[in-house]
Homo-oligomer: A and B are copies of this chain.
Amino acid sequence: MAWNTNLRWRLPLTCLLLQVAMVVLFGVFVRYDLDADAHWWAEKSRRNISSDLENEFYYRYPSFQDVHVMVFVGFGFLMTFLQRYGFSAVGFNFLLAAFGIQWALLMQGWFHHVEDRHIILGIENLINADFCVASVCVAFGAVLGKVSPVQLLIMTFFQVTLFSVNEFILLNLLEVKDAGGSMTIHTFGAYFGLTVTRILYRRNLEQSKERQSSVYHSDLFAMIGTLFLWMYWPSFNSAISYHGDSQHRAVINTYCSLAACVLTSVAMSSALHKKGKLDMVHIQNATLAGGVAVGTAAEMMLMPYGALIVGFFCGIISTLGFVYLTPFLESRLQIQDTCGIHNLHGIPGILGGIVGAVTAAYASPEAYGKEGLAHSFDFQGFKEGWSTTTQGKFQIFGLLVSLAMALMGGVIVGLILRLPFWGQAADENCFDDGVYWEIPEEKSTVYIPEDPTLKPGVHSAPLVPSVPMVSSIPIASSAVPLVP
């Protein structure tokens, strides 16, 4: 069938409709948290708060900015590895994240931050909104290159909704701990995205295979994303932990896990290549698995060596996944996972959930100190007969719930996205910015030297990169990778 990818009305209307809805809902529901309200000035003295620094802002702001960078630059550039899809990778990620954070502020607000019929907004909400959107960015990685921006906005709308419900079940009903979101963000995001891409299976995708690979410079752009994700991951896993030792510990554990993960990823990447050469795909992705897998346990007394062990195995498993599992998923299960999120967020996410459950189950008063243990797991009084073992069990329940929600939600959303009128491209036009973006036309005049001694063929070469050329031969942009 022929696809209409002209979004002239569909995209603008979707954006404006959603944004107007946001304005109205914010007007009705959202107010400032006291820490961000001018009344705080008076309240301070009333509560005799000694210093302005006690404003939550100063505990969280640096971590918030790091998380913000991970969502917009980290995920955005990580996905620019495709040779002709950089505009969409960065641009669509920008679009869906900008909408997602607003919708997440509302959804999470309704579940967690309502005070007399209003959502109160503070720095912590902003961090949580970024977290929620991170799980959408993860899912985006699975469908990258195969969906239209309209589909992405719809997916974001539903995924943020489901994320918030799932998060509420885990954190409030099951009272699960998940500082770095191994379960709520990564496991949920990955399996949701994989289910969606399964439903949207494209039979003839090999027609655009050539554009599914990277080119030299697109791989360097992707490394910008990788490194900012890697460097700021300690902030990610510690951003909403309790003040003091918890945040401090979460940073150390994540730092250790990520470091170990790099070495084992490199080791496997080289070992799995017949000539021992490294593959950029592994360096760009597998090196991050350690941050995912230490997410849940990051704020617990995992111990530095514990973190190293987690990173050690994740680097290996993730790289193996890229080499063996991804092709298998595509050929056998018809799951076309563009960025291999199953290896970076799926498996490591599940491992993270399990590591968290075990660490919680074996938490002892010796390791935490009596008050420390009660504080870390909120055992203070109100939880009768609650033990670390119970906590461990519930952590596992939480993991299973996340998986169930992801699969269920993924099926429903996938079916909605399969409707033919969202402006998606045909199989042969996937992974091509040209479909949704005005691409700068590469023109260049060429000087044909008079020198007759030259071999004929040499004349035209300086045309770099002339698409179309002087003679304006029409060439499908897909035919020529724009950059080496």
Contact = CB atoms under 8 A, between A and B. Distances in A.
Contacts of A228: 69, 73
Interface in A253-278: 255-256, 258-260, 262-264, 266-268, 270-271, 273-278
A34 to B, nearest CB: 8
Interface residues of A, number: 175
Contacts of A279: 437-438
A263 B18 contact: yes
Contacts of A114: none
A232 to B, nearest CB: 7
Quick one: which of A9, A56, A444, A471 has the most chain B CB within 10 A? A444
Interface in A427-484: 436-449, 451, 454-471, 473, 475, 479-484
A102 B259 contact: yes
A20 B30 CA distance: 51
Contact of A303 (B31, B264, B268, B312): B31
Contact of A260 (B6, B23, B33, B50): B23
Consensus secondary structure, chain A interface = helix
Interface in A216-244: 216-217, 219-221, 223-224, 227-228, 230-232, 234-235, 243-244
18 contacts: A12-B276, A16-B264, A26-B305, A38-B301, A38-B373, A40-B245, A50-B51, A51-B51, A53-B53, A102-B308, A123-B248, A215-B440, A220-B221, A446-B480, A461-B466, A462-B467, A462-B479, A483-B484
Given A38-B249, A65-B66, A216-B442, 9 more contacts: A44-B244, A55-B245, A72-B230, A72-B231, A98-B263, A102-B308, A123-B252, A277-B437, A280-B438
